[in-house]
Amino acid sequence: MTTDHRDAGPAAHTGSATPSGAPGKACGADGAGRDAARRHGSAAGGAGDGAEPPRLSTRDRSWVEGFAEHLVHERNRSAETLRAYVADLEGLVRDVVAHERPGIVDGAGPDVLGALDLKDLRGWLGRLSAAGRSRSTLARKTATVRVFYAWAVREGLVEVDPSLRLSSPRRSGSLPDALSAEQAARLLDRAQEPVAPGRHPESPTEDPAPGGRTREEVRRRAVALRDAAILELLYATGLRVSELAGLDRADVDHERRTLRVTGKGGKQRTVPFGLPAATAVERWLDQGRRHLLAGPTDALFLGVRGGRLGVRQVREMVNAALAGLGDTSASGPHVLRHTAATHLLDGGADLRSVQELLGHSSLQTTQLYTHVSIERLREGYRRAHPRA
């Protein structure tokens, strides 16, 4: 495919996002959006709509980079949100090109994003729905194009916003399954089990480390201590996985047993945690962290290479721990967030306190957990009451 550097002509359809001839405004002066789009967007292939690399014209790329710069500097969006937005736009372009939209020639037209209309956007969402994408995914992608085109209109890049009449699929009111109290206790107990002593079978010639263990065994135990602390904190606090991965050592107040958490939009909140989580974190810091540390870093949790532990590694670890229970299909760190909220409400916590703990901007989001608790109450009532 060759990149066409010509200026965009009028859009092909009535009501389309007609280019206004002001492409230069899309690129910020300091290039932060350009760097952000390349760093966060193109690296997020899994968040798009296929494995092919995005086929963006020069102008489309400049628009996406300008939009990313806007998200970074003016809306203070997280790296994870930025990756999702950029990948959604790249996926939209790929979809339009793949379905040979009239007026878009081989994906190298002067401006794909500026030539789309409401029908194109509806067709894109319809194909995603037919492919089995969830309502929450479709709702997020709808939000992406709405935010993008609202920005493009303000910047003078398009005259008409094609997403104005684009309806958003209603998000499902259901939540992933929460673990029972017994399952949660078993999960955390299993995580606290010490690594079995003995030489690692794949490294019998390792130089001995303190305590008679090989260096590999010391690192394995350090990872086990780290994972136990992570599971305890996720259940104790209901943190999002991105919030946990972003914690620094200075964010932990050991005396008060609280965390300083930076949530969505850079908003900070203070979250308490209990003695079991405090003990697990202290064991990790005292006995494990130094064995993974590769250089100066403030990160609370480290990966095996010594740098800050990534979100993906946390997800993989939690999934493996949940699979080890053997009696639940639940997966992902969000299960522990849902479990923490549900158990708090089951135990009598008020809704506002849980909202603040979880960092929800809307009480309506927190109220979803009350439905889970009520259903559990009904189930227990039906089992126990003679006239249920």
- Residues with catalytic roles: 240, 264, 334, 337, 360, 369
Q: What angle do CA 162, 43, 296 make, to 5 degrees?
A: 130
Helices 334-346, 311-323: inter-axial angle, 10-degree rounding: 60
- What is the Cα–Cα distance from 29 to 332, expressed in whole angstroms? 40
Residues 6+ apart with CB under 8 A from 125: 138, 141, 142, 166, 169
Give backbone dihedrals phi and psi of 56, rounded to 5 degrees, phi first: -105, 140
- What is the Cα–Cα distance from 110 to 126, expressed in whole angstroms? 25
Sign for the CA dihedral angle at 26, 28, 29, 30 comes to negative
CA 185 to chain centroid, in Å, comes to 26
What tokens does 276 get? Answer: 């079991």
Query: What DSSP designation does 258 have?
Result: E
What tokens does 277 get? Answer: 């989580």
Sign for the CA dihedral angle at 64, 10, 4, 29 comes to negative
